[in-house]
Structure 1
Amino acid sequence: MSEQEKNITFAYWVPNVSGGLVVSNIEQRTDWSYEYNVRLAQTAEKNGFDYALTQIRFTAGYGADNQHESVSFSHGLLAKTERLKVIAAILPGPWKPALAAKQLATIDHLSGGRIAVNVVSGWFRGEFYAIGEEWPEHDQRYVRSEEFIRALKGVWTQDQFSLDGKYYQFKDYTLKPKPLQKPHIEIFQGGSSRAARDMASRVSDWYFTNGNTPEEIKKQIDDIREKAKANNHSVKIGVNAFIIARDTEQEAQAVLQEIIDKANIQAVHAFGDATREAGASSIEGEGNWAKSTFEDLVQYNDGFKTNLIGTPQQIAERIVELKSVGVDLILSGFLHFIEEVEYFGQKILPLVRQLEAQQQVVIAAKSA
């Protein structure tokens, strides 16, 4: 089955940190508690979501005063669901690959093969300083992450695994039991810099990019996939999107405007300063948020840029357009998570599947 024949998949950001997914003082019927998140996870898997992504934060900031740890929280959600796969975000530095490999392999057995991992190279220097962790310069953080991923893969697939890296070393190490998932637990990563794309093209199963237009996303996808092919590797693409679906376009746009109008101005500027500092140290002199406006930064990962804002029909058509440029997964955020995830499953997902089916008929006719 070709990539175009596969249905696009959906993930959602787990609100395991306070403040929701926007840096705004708007009312949100979203909560960071375990009880709320269990209900959300159960709602999501009943409404067509395949993945949930927990967030990793060690310190307060940018409207997120409280944070539940990602790996243990992921395990808690897996225990209360049946089909959903939960992606635990981890940071090289605080985590060492030997611990992560063993921790995640155990959760894989406990959950029946439903854990995944998102290796976060890090952009928030203040957080690393606060907990006494080394802060390598930008591209070296990706060198470290790549070693981390190679270590995970090696430990999960080989006996007597050895690695003599700059950051991590293994000598004849055998992990047992190995994960249930074969060849190994799925590995996600994010980033939009050249270093991030190059790493994805060598070692990652999935690459998350910030929200953007289909044209700009296609440029990244083409770059990654061309490099991956040269490396005899393949990588799938996930795109961040903050979804505002309402019965009319006017209602959806009004919600967007209210989020921006009620933005936490100080927190948004602080977030922007931190991201610009991180990006300035990359070789190209810019990072994920280099071209983001104040309005874009109100949603952490440029989710407004993807423009999944409007009626169910408009959003479904834009999702299928993203699929046509090579997107495999939409990583979704919402204002009021539980009810909006349910609305998505009832009103938008059926339209997406209908449009995908129509698209396949056209492709089949052309190839006949």
Structure 2
Amino acid sequence: MIRFGLHSGQQYRTFDEALLLWRRAEELGYDWVSVFDHYRPPLGGPNGVCFDGPTLLSALAAHTSRVRCAILVSSVTWRHPAVAAAIAATLDHVSGGRLEFGLGAGGPDLGYQQYGIPFPEPRVRLEMLEEYCQVVRGLWSRERTTFHGRHYDLVDARLSPKPLQARLPLVIGGGGEKRTLRVVARHADVWNTLAGDPGEYRRKREVLARHCAEAGRDPGEIRGSITFRAVLAADEARVGLRRAERLAMLPAGSPDLAEYVTFGTPEECVRDLLPYVRLGARDLLLGVRPPVDWETVELFAERVVPALRAASAPTESSAPPTSTEPTAPPGPTAASASSA
């Protein structure tokens, strides 16, 4: 089943702003809403607003009842994996079993400089991610977890209560072909990446399939998830105006521009996203940030989602099963680690 979601982030000035978006997402029929896990995201500059991700997610989960509640994604640099595992288990209880927990090696964040938090080189962070996945899965699923790795060491560690879900979905974000996708192949239930372009997405899926073969895992067990942005107008006459409005809000040279797949009508958005669906994407997540573009949020739900569901129905029926809780990857989840 294809799922449609909003990646809301948490750069809001009040809790009520964030809550309004999440509740409206449920009303509009979205399947998923997510925050990220940054402290000082570059967008907004050194004084930009940003709530704490897990804390906000807990409150939003408690005020919603149906949507999947996700963090996309939590950097391994912020907290020990045992602490992250406990946070995730708590969030799963608060949400009534609706959590999907994302992990990544981390990216740009002004918090490293402002707060003095260490930011290791990419190779080290990817080693940490490999071990992190093993630790959190062990704590979620085993009565006791002993783990001896290069970065983390646990002896007879316990976590109770366990998550409500028999297998809490672990999302891994990133597109690095040599290391990140190898971690995805070994540990992820969901793989999330920016949309990029269809040719690039096809290549990354092929690389992931090769890593899965090395890991002895069926790539069909891993849900493909893409995050993107769009600006939609109800008709062609408004497209130029709506594009100008959004561009005026972005800083000059904003890297976010690369994330927009569509400046156009809902029908154009369907055409732009359908190639990703045909390549295996099963979670389509529309990025949103304040001031919320309500016209796009509503047009996407009302006109893009039904059209994509209808257009992709034959693809879904012939694709490998991709449930919310995929088959567990082979092998132990809590053992002595080697470098990625």
Counterpart of 2:51 in structure 1 is: 68
Q: Structure 1 residue 63: deviation in Å?
A: 1.2
Matching of residues 278-289 of structure 1 within 5 Å = none
Q: Which runs of 5+ in 1 are unaligned?
A: 1-5, 19-31, 266-293
**What is the rounded CA distance, in whole Å, between the counterparts of 2:52 and 2:109 in structure 1?**
19
Partner of residue 86 from structure 2, selected from 96, 102, 106: 102
1:105–1:178 CA contact under 8 A, matched in 2: yes
Counterpart of 1:255 in structure 2 is: 242
Structure 1 length-normalised TM: 0.77
Matching of residues 21-60 of structure 1 within 5 Å = 32-59=13-40
Counterpart of 2:327 in structure 1 is: none
Q: Structure 1 residue 339: deviation in Å?
A: 4.2
**What is the rounded CA distance, in whole Å, between the counterparts of 2:148 and 2:11 in structure 1?**
36
**What is the rounded CA distance, in whole Å, between the counterparts of 1:317 and 1:217 in structure 2?**
16
The CA deviation string for residues 150-196 of structure 1, in whole angstroms up to 9 with x for no partner, is 1000111112211101111111112121111112x211122222222
Counterpart of 1:77 in structure 2 is: 60
Q: Structure 1 residue 258: deviation in Å?
A: 4.3
The CA deviation string for residues 33-71 of structure 1, in whole angstroms up to 9 with x for no partner, is 211221211211232322212122222633151110000
Q: Which amino acid aligns with 2:174?
A: G
Q: Which amino acid aligns with 1:46?
A: E
Structure 2 length-normalised TM: 0.83
Other structure's SS at 1:55 match: strand
1:320 aligns with 2:307: no
Q: Structure 1 residue 147: deviation in Å?
A: 0.9
Rate the CA distance shift 1:345–1:102 in 2: closer, same or farther, 3 A.
Answer: same
1:162–1:173 CA contact under 8 A, matched in 2: yes
The CA deviation string for residues 251-296 of structure 1, in whole angstroms up to 9 with x for no partner, is 334433443355323xxxxxxxxxxxxxxxxxxxxxxxxxxxx46x
Q: Which amino acid aligns with 1:308?
A: T
Other structure's SS at 1:159 match: coil
2:231–2:246 CA contact under 8 A, matched in 1: no
**What is the rounded CA distance, in whole Å, between the counterparts of 1:104 and 1:115 in structure 2?**
8
1:355 aligns with 2:336: no
The CA deviation string for residues 211-235 of structure 1, in whole angstroms up to 9 with x for no partner, is 3221111111111122123313342
**What is the rounded CA distance, in whole Å, between the counterparts of 2:20 and 2:134 in structure 1?**
35
Q: Which amino acid aligns with 2:277?
A: K
Q: Which runs of 5+ in 2 are unaligned?
A: 320-340
**What is the rounded CA distance, in whole Å, between the counterparts of 2:196 and 2:91 in structure 1?**
34
Counterpart of 1:218 in structure 2 is: 202
1:16–1:33 CA contact under 8 A, matched in 2: no
Counterpart of 2:170 in structure 1 is: 187
Counterpart of 2:233 in structure 1 is: 246
Rate the CA distance shift 1:143–1:72 in 2: closer, same or farther, 3 A.
Answer: same
Q: Which amino acid aligns with 1:235?
A: I
Other structure's SS at 1:243 match: strand
Q: Structure 1 residue 128: deviation in Å?
A: 2.1
**What is the rounded CA distance, in whole Å, between the counterparts of 1:228 and 1:120 in structure 2?**
18
**What is the rounded CA distance, in whole Å, between the counterparts of 1:340 and 1:149 in structure 2?**
35
Counterpart of 1:264 in structure 2 is: 251
| Overall identity of the aligned pairs, in % | 21
Rate the CA distance shift 1:317–1:79 in 2: closer, same or farther, 3 A.
Answer: same
**What is the rounded CA distance, in whole Å, between the counterparts of 2:87 and 2:65 in structure 1?**
20
Q: Which amino acid aligns with 1:350?
A: P
Partner of residue 137 from structure 1, selected from 114, 118, 121: 121
